[in-house]
Amino acid sequence: MTMKKEVSIIFDMDGTLIDSSAAMTHSVNYVRNTLGLAPIAKEYLEYYINQPDQHLPKIFYNTDEYDPAHRALFKEHYMHFSPSMISLYPDVEELLHVLSEKAYLSIATNASDFFARHMLQELNIIDYFSSIVGANNVAEPKPSPLMVYHLMEELGSAPSKTILVGDSIKDELAASNAGIRFIFALWGYGTSETAKLRAHTIHDLLKLLNTFI
């Protein structure tokens, strides 16, 4: 008899489960080079992708909006190079294996669901997730709560039984706006002065999550 799962755990992807900033920086710099712009550092990208109210097209490409041609260049480059440049954080697969027996797992990422599925497939962890929602699947990305609402409705989970794990202020605000618990992943790209629940390592995270499952 299959045990009914009552808890839903939503994970951010980049900076929480997957270390992809080197691959993203490599591809952003490829596009910047075609525009005659100087390369940016990985730390620069890590900082700005996690800040709310930042206009990333201007920051990365000095344009008011993302140009479809720039998106196409990034996509082609990223799809080619990312498999050799992305990696899981230590003990992530063990974490997912343990949690998937007790809770519904899902992804809420400000990347497109196409990139998310590609990366999760490359790293052989896609089967752990009941649902994957990207920025292209909702009207507004995080820090809007729309991704969280989408997943709670799809999985039939109540706010009191839903937890978001992420590494950025955008994740923290999305959880707060949706009225659910949040755990800050301190090994990722961002920092927080306000998150009440924090995990320094994957094992810390598992201990925290086990108190709610």
The two three-digit tokens of residue 131, written as one number: 């649902």
In this prediction, residue 1 carries a pLDDT of 40
* 106 and 95 belong to one structural domain: yes
In this prediction, residue 170 carries a pLDDT of 96
Task: Supply the DSSP symbol for 37.
Answer: P
**CA separation for the pair 52, 168 (Å, rounded):** 9
* 42 and 147 belong to one structural domain: no
- Non-local (6+) Cβ contacts of 85 within 8 A are 20, 22, 23, 26
Residue 123 falls inside a structural domain: yes
Number of domains in the chain: 2
Q: What is the pLDDT along the chain (213 residues), one digit of tens a residue?
A: 455 789 999 999 999 999 999 999 999 999 999 999 999 999 999 999 988 888 999 999 999 999 999 999 999 999 999 999 999 999 999 999 999 999 999 999 999 999 999 999 999 999 999 999 999 999 999 999 999 999 999 999 999 999 999 999 999 999 999 999 999 999 999 999 899 999 999 999 999 999 999
Domain final residue, candidates 59, 84, 109: 84
Domain final residue, candidates 33, 51, 84: 84
In this prediction, residue 53 carries a pLDDT of 85
Q: Are strands 18-19 and 131-133 parallel, antiparallel or unpaired?
A: unpaired
Residue 1 falls inside a structural domain: no
Helix ranges (H only) for the chain are: 21-34, 42-49, 56-61, 68-81, 92-100, 113-122, 146-155, 169-178, 202-210
Give the tens place of pLDDT for each residue, 170-198: 999 999 999 999 999 999 999 998 999 99
> At 171, which CATH number?
3.40.50.1000
Domain final residue, candidates 55, 84, 113: 84
Segments forming the whole domain that contains residue 147: 7-19+86-210
Which amino acid is present at 37? Answer: L
- Non-local (6+) Cβ contacts of 141 within 8 A are 110, 135, 147, 170
In this prediction, residue 180 carries a pLDDT of 98
* 109 and 75 belong to one structural domain: no
